[in-house]
Structure 1
Amino acid sequence: MASPNDDRVVKGGYWYCDNKLPTPVASIPSNNFTHLFAAFAEVNPTTYEVTFPEEHREQFSTFTLTVQGINPDVTTLLSIGETGVSTTSTFASLASHFNTRKSFINSSISLARSYDFHGLSLHWLYPSTKEEMANLGSLLLEWGAAVKHESELTGNDKLLLVAAVYYRPTYRTFLYPVDAIAGSLDWINLVAYDFYNPALSWNATGPFAALYNGHIHEIIPRSADHGIIEWSQSKVTATRIVLGLPFYGAAWLLDLDIDLEDSTRTDIFAPAEGPADGQADGVYVDPSDGTILYNQIKYFEERHPEGIQEYSADYVVDYFSAENIWIGYDDIKSITAKVKDAKNEFKLLGYYAWHVGGDRQGILSITG
């Protein structure tokens, strides 16, 4: 199947096969996107071949057919990955040897072609040693050469090749293989969220997905603009960067024992005591890090009409507080501002949403 025209701004979205709050592929508002990512294909830890997760095989195998039934012009990419940070991940193992990289690469191309995907996306979060970064570079160079060779051999349009990366080109103290990224990938998806959540900032709330951050106590500001600038100063130009927009946020328990003015108590960086309860007034919050989907946030707001909803133009984030719960997230105002600055201020290739199942009646998908 020929790929749709991809000489265009990227307005992407990830579909995630979430077992807790599943989203049928057929429910994705495909008309709101130029590119859709099916997440996540898995890597066999023994053979290092790429496969669909067995319980979601049907949705992956019909993904392109289903979303193009609504929008024939949407481009689909098969995303291979994991959601957590692991220094001993399957990716670290497969990337360490030529033969295992070859098994991964060949099977990924075969799987994408067999089910009419137009591209492949790597979601290895995050290479955590100097050696892993070097091996990632080898993987990307070999993968890029392989998709080019396959296209020349078959006459098919070349598969797109994308990777999700940390918001900065340095993770911990380890530099990403920027030469290999610039030489092999069509673009990078910048993970520009989760800057603050209760797992990272237990004692204070924070701007979950700050576009800007002038907080005086930050040695390295956790914000998208700093990452964009650093990546753009490497060999990865702004026109090959796609900004991540979260369709979820993070919920803290406010520390009400500290004597503060009411306005300070509900502000960004207000004192907190960890993540909100896993079942906060009928909505689901991940008890480990306080993450909560956008549709759950809006439901929580409806349950608390007395709550305070605020927007910060300094950080470009929204936040809501009610009783002893404080939630940082992106709503219509912050998404609109981010999309505007991605286009006009930073001149990026586009933006993507993680993930479409977090939206509510397409409110965020049509914003921008």
Structure 2
Amino acid sequence: MAARGSTTNGRLLVVLSVVAAALSSLSLAASSAPPRSQEPREALEAVRAGYYLAADARLRSLADLDASLYTHLYYYAIPVHPVRRTLLLPADPAQVRLLATFCRTVKAKNPAVKTLLSVGTVGGAAAAAGSRSDPAFAAMAADPASRAAFVDATVALARENSFDGLDVAWRFPASAVEMAEFGFLVAEWRATVSPGFLLTATVYFSNHVFDAPFAGVDYPSEAIVRNLDWVNVMAFGLRPVSANVTAFDAPLYDRASHYSASYGVVSWLDAGVPASKVVMGLPLYGRSWFLRNKANNGVGAPAVAVGPKQRGSNTTGAMSYAEVQGLASASTSRAVITAYDNASVASYVSVGDVWVAFDGVAVVAEKLAFAAHRGLLGYFLWPVNYDDDNLTVSRRASQAWTQSKSSPDLRNITGARQAQAPVQLPPALQSPAPIAPTSASFSWLSWRTLDVRLHLGALTLVCYQL
């Protein structure tokens, strides 16, 4: 018994020594690391951004894109390898050329445009807008070594191909631990890049991930404010699609639930992310259904299935903006019904038994008026190669944003229609109190400290078991 006690004490001393050494090393790093500047980075110009889906380049060649309509263009996307936890670079020669020439092609038409390389979850426009988690990205971010290698690899790839910045499109961290690792990732990114190099994130429509498998999944707002130039809020694809009933995919308002663009944007502001770091997304795709009864064609009408698969977007239940317009204009024998819903700020078109919810130009104009009224940094279009031949939405968005920002009174804005959750949420889904970042409350090292302490938790369990 005495020998066993002596052995246990010896193990305990070894573990405690490891813990003490780790904490001592961490303290030394804290005292020796150069202090990060507490001064805010230079104010950014208003953002009129567009995502170009490389996988759908056939719908519109990059050379045919009018780069003058945007201030920032994203190459979307380079995924994480599902096994090796490294970047999965394109193998198709055409995709390789697109990546290599992306910046040169768009800057030939607009030298002022900034280009960003988006890394993360891939898929079609509608599929990527959903709330599915990305196991490969999560596995990479969970391991400090693979995360550090990922940071180095993304920065190197962006610089090799002349990009002005990087975007992390991890959709979506599905637990509190994954959110903490998201914070580590963006902090390590910021510590690696040089001043002036843009860092952004493509994020869920709300600061709280409602469809996550675990409760309490909130983005690390303080890390975002500290380390990212802005977040691109995906204010579309707001709820899982039911094959049984029609619904709006990206309404600005919804008094019956929190699934609205306005609620999502306000949640980010309430979480402490300043409006000057929030960019609101507008979809250039529509959701479609087959109606059960052609005469019953309103919102919430019974449906028999999601809509037809399109040759362009190549997805059942989804259409590009160009395909929506083509569906309506090509119909000669079937009645075409278009409607704009003022209460939710959303629109749809019904052609025979096909029903499509989409953002028309009137919806785009009012959404951008809301964004300007809230003081947001700007907007992004998802994706620009889904626009029609005349780039109708891209042009109207640019005009509407300029008009909304220049309006002295914004008298046509109805941005107060949904400023809070319309229903009382359970405690697990309620957002935490807003964070007021201060210069002394956070640094990149604090996230690294938390990273180490999470791993030291395992050592504590060992001590308990001895």
Interval of TM-score (by shorter of Structure 1 and Structure 2): 0.7 to 0.9
Q: CA deviation at 1:208?
A: 1.4
Q: Determine helix, strand or coil for the equivalent of 1:228.
A: helix
Q: CA deviation at 1:327?
A: 0.3
Structure 2 match to 1:164: 202
Q: Is 1:296 the counterpart of 2:296 in the alignment?
A: no
Which of 344, 350, 353 is 1:324 aligned to?
A: 353
Q: Do the aligned residues in 2 keep the contact of 1:187 with 1:242 (CA within 8 Å)?
A: yes
Q: CA deviation at 1:67?
A: 0.1
Q: Do the aligned residues in 2 keep the contact of 1:277 with 1:285 (CA within 8 Å)?
A: no
The CA RMSD measured in Å over matched residues stands at 2.0
Q: CA deviation at 1:11?
A: 0.2
Q: CA deviation at 1:44?
A: 3.5
Distance change (3 Å), C-alpha of 1:283 and 1:16 = closer
Q: Is 1:186 the counterpart of 2:225 in the alignment?
A: no
Q: Do the aligned residues in 1 keep the contact of 2:121 with 2:134 (CA within 8 Å)?
A: no
Q: Is 1:307 the counterpart of 2:336 in the alignment?
A: yes
TM-score, reference length from structure 2? 0.69
Structure 2 match to 1:356: 384
What amino acid maps onto 1:356 in structure 2? V
Structure 1 match to 2:166: 120
The answer for unaligned runs of 5 or more in structure 1 is 152-156
Q: CA deviation at 1:89?
A: 1.9
Q: CA deviation at 1:158?
A: 2.6
CA-to-partner distance for each residue in 1:5-51, whole Å, 9 max, x for gaps? Answer: 97311000000012584432212210100000001123344554435
What amino acid maps onto 1:300 in structure 2? L
Sequence identity percentage: 30
Structure 1 match to 2:268: 231
Which of 86, 95, 108 is 1:69 aligned to?
A: 108
Distance change (3 Å), C-alpha of 1:352 and 1:141 = same
Q: Do the aligned residues in 2 keep the contact of 1:50 with 1:111 (CA within 8 Å)?
A: no
CA distance in 2, matches of 1:283, 1:179: 40
Distance change (3 Å), C-alpha of 1:272 and 1:92 = same
In our comparison, the structure showing a higher alpha carbon Rg is 2
Which of 227, 232, 241 is 1:200 aligned to?
A: 241
- Trace 1:38-77 onto structure 2 (pairs within 5 A): 38-45=75-82, 47-50=84-87, 52-55=89-92, 56-77=95-116
What amino acid maps onto 1:118 in structure 2? D
- Trace 1:5-154 onto structure 2 (pairs within 5 A): 7-19=44-56, 21-45=58-82, 47-50=84-87, 52-55=89-92, 56-83=95-122, 84=128, 86-87=132-133, 89-147=135-193, 151=194
What amino acid maps onto 2:270 in structure 1? Q
Query: Quick check: which one's strand share is greater?
Result: 1
Q: Determine helix, strand or coil for the equivalent of 1:62.
A: helix
TM-score, reference length from structure 1? 0.87
CA-to-partner distance for each residue in 1:311-361, whole Å, 9 max, x for gaps? Answer: 112111110001111100011111111112211x21100000010110012
CA-to-partner distance for each residue in 1:231-281, whole Å, 9 max, x for gaps? Answer: 101121111110000011100111219xxxx4xx222122222201225xx
Q: Determine helix, strand or coil for the equivalent of 1:50.
A: coil
